Structure 1
Amino acid sequence: MISSRRVFLRSAAGLAIVSGTGAIFAQPSIANSGDPASPSKDSVSKAQRAFAEIVPGGTSPNGWLINTAANSGGSVWTRPVPGTGFEIDVAIGDVEVILVHIVRRFHYEIDTLRPGEVIGFKSPATVKRRELNHASGTAIDIRPGHYPPDVRNGFYPHELAVIRDILTQCEGAVKWGGDFSSPDEAHFEIGVPPTDKRVRKVAQKIRGWNITPGAGAGVLRDLKMPG
């Protein structure tokens, strides 16, 4: 029987970097023991390196900032997926909350996932146009070897019902590759730009579930009921 789990997702806070497109994302805090009005050379150099990890003016097809690497000062970091024993590389903040929720529901309600079976960030140098959403840390592939591109009906009806319920919970902020004209049933992505209010709304809803017993991922629910 699937048990409920209480999860507290850590959020990242700190320095804000503004891209050439005007988008803002949070950076890990940079300690500065000196005058707040006069940041140290070390903090300045870290901020410059952080900006260097964002492709200047570059956004993925869904409108999010493209990173050149994970864990290198940009907006993409390795984040835990509570209850699974593994981590994924995703954009920190609201995107992280949503994508981690998707992975956890798949893990609990469709099939147990193992390390290496969920792919998040991909280098922009290695992907094609649509896959650039991976380069912004806003897309994941769950078991891509089991659900290859251009193949439909990889899920049993009850598994498909879970996926549809996840999409309903995400209120249009997430797209599933199974709905693409050229299907990719392993693929989930943030389907709206950073300015879309649904991203914050859905993430806040999931955060509430994560601290509420009997709510959120890992809880058996009637899939006929609205999420």
Structure 2
Amino acid sequence: MNLMGLSRRRFVGLAAGVAATATLVDVGGVGTASAADARAWKGAMSANGWPLLDKAVGFTVEGSGVKVSLAEGDAATVLLHVARRFHYEIDSLRAGDIHGWTNDDKVAEGYESNYLSGSAMAIRPLWYPVGSAGNLYPNELVVVRDILTELDGVIAWGGDFTTPKESHFEITLTPGHPRLKGVARKIRGWNDGPGNAGVGAIDAFDPRRRRTARAFQRRVS
């Protein structure tokens, strides 16, 4: 990623926050929410059916030195794979770029409750806040679509939501779901196998992968 591209994306994200300063407040370090709309999440489960956590384990995103707190097990395996691909294929992650579990129960949208269970994360939420869309370059969007396709719908991206949040990635299935377990097992196999085949060996722009990603997007949209 060249410096001009990085500067533009930084500008877009920050400008979205500055333009809404009168009505937006930072919520628990995981996003930007309307002060009027932010509310406390009630209940013992997050919106995607995961139990809320009192604490979560910090994991290091491979190659970055950046840590993120997530629910242990399959959720962490899958979300860390997303973060690694972002780091290697979109832009290098830096300190403060990625947020996972939080105990701040204030949410602007129901899907933000998934941070409370450690089953979601936000990558650069101040750049890509709630309600802001169209911030990714086309080549970055190709990588995001390839990730979603590769993970067989186990991950949802906030850019596809009615009220978008392009920094947001969440687990779509409940704990122990067979498809979640299968995808996590596949990722662990890549990580443990020769050459770490799942990260760094992927070409999201391969024509076959792009056709598959477009077909997957049509199917789930």
TM-score with structure 2 length normalisation? 0.70
Change over 3 Å in CA distance of 1:221–1:214 after alignment to 2 = farther
Give, in whole Å, the separation in 2 of the partners of 1:143 and 1:201.
28
Partners of 1:124 and 1:132 within 8 A in 2: no
1:215 equivalent in alignment to 2:215: no
SS in 2 for 1:189: strand
Aligned to 1:114, which of 94, 100, 103? 94
1:149, CA displacement in angstroms?
1.7
1:225 aligns with 2:208: yes
Aligned residues: 165
Q: Which residue pairs with 1:63 in the alignment?
A: 49
The structure where helix makes up a greater share of residues is: 2
The whole-number CA distance in structure 1 between the counterparts of 2:189 and 2:129 is 34
Cα deviations by residue, 1:81-131 (Å, 9 ceiling, x for unpaired): 121111110001111110000001000000111011000011153335321
Whole-angstrom CA distance in 2 between matches of 1:207 and 1:108:
18
SS where residue 130 of structure 1 aligns? helix
Listed one character per residue, the Cα deviations across residues 177-225 of structure 1 (whole Å, up to 9, x for unaligned) are 0000111100000011114211111111111111231511222425333
Instruction: Work out the CA distance in 2 between the residues paired with 1:81 and 1:172.
Output: 22
Correspondence 1:66-77 to 2 at 5 A: 66-68=52-54, 70=55, 76-77=56-57
TM-score (norm 1): 0.68
Segments of 5+ residues of structure 1 without an aligned counterpart are: 1-56, 71-75
**Residue-by-residue CA offset, 1:142-200 (whole Å, 9 max, x unaligned):** 00111122121111111100000000011011100000011110000001111421111
Is the Cα–Cα contact under 8 Å of residues 105 and 113 in structure 2 kept in the other structure?
A: no
Query: Where do residues 34-49 of structure 1 align in structure 2 (5 Å cutoff)?
Result: none
Distance 1:124 1:199 in 2: 26
Paired residue secondary structure (1:161): helix
* Structure 1 CA distance for aligned equivalents of residues 78 and 107 of structure 2: 23
Partner residue, 1:96:
76
**Quick check: 1:67–1:124 contact (8 Å CA) kept in 2?**
no
Q: What is the correspondence of 1:136-175 to structure 2 with a 5 Å cutoff? A: 136-175=117-156
Q: Percent identity?
A: 43
Where does residue 85 of structure 2 map in the other structure?
Answer: 105
Mind listing any 5+ residue stretches in structure 2 that lack a counterpart?
A: 1-42, 213-221
Runs of 4+ in 1 over 6 A off after TM superposition: none
> Which residue does the alignment assign to 1:23?
none
Amino acid at match of 1:225: R
Match of 2:64 in 1: 84
- Distance (Å, rounded) in 2 between the aligned partners of 1:221 and 1:96: 23
